[in-house]
Structure 1
Amino acid sequence: MEPLAFDYEDLHLRGDRGVFELFDLGSAGHAFRVPPRWLGALAHYKSAHYKKPEKPGELFFGVVRDPNAALYGTDRLAFRFAGSQAVRVPPGDEPLFRAYFTQVAALAGRRVV
Structure 2
Amino acid sequence: MDPLEPRVFRHERVHIQVHHGILEVFRRSNVVGPYRYPLDWVTVRAEARRNGVTRLYFGIAEDLGEPIYASGPGTAPVFLRHEIPTTDEPLYRAFFTELARLADRPIMP
TM-score range, shorter chain: 0.7 to 0.9
- Alpha-carbon distance in 1 for matches of 2:82, 2:63: 23
Q: Is the 8 A contact 1:66 1:78 kept in 2?
A: no
Residue of structure 2 equivalent to 1:72? 69
Runs of 4 or more off by more than 4 Å in structure 1? none
Change (3 A) 1:76 1:88: closer
Give the TM-score normalised by the residue count of structure 1. Answer: 0.83
* Unmatched tracts of structure 1, length 5 or more: none
Q: Where does the alignment leave 5 or more consecutive residues of structure 2 unmatched?
A: none
Paired residues of 1:23 and 1:29 also in contact (CA < 8 A): no
**TM-score of the superposition, structure 2-length normalised?**
0.86
Q: Whole-Å Cα distance in 1 between the matches of residues 15 and 42 of structure 2?
A: 16
Comparing 27-36 with 10-19, greater Cα deviation is found at: 27-36
* Aligned residue pair count: 105
Whether the 8 Å CA contact 2:45–2:74 is kept in 1: the answer is: no
Deviation of 1:88 (Å): 1.3
Identity of aligned residues (%): 29
Question: 1:83 corresponds to which letter in structure 2?
Answer: F
Alpha-carbon distance between aligned partners in 2 of 1:33 and 1:77, rounded to the nearest angstrom: 20
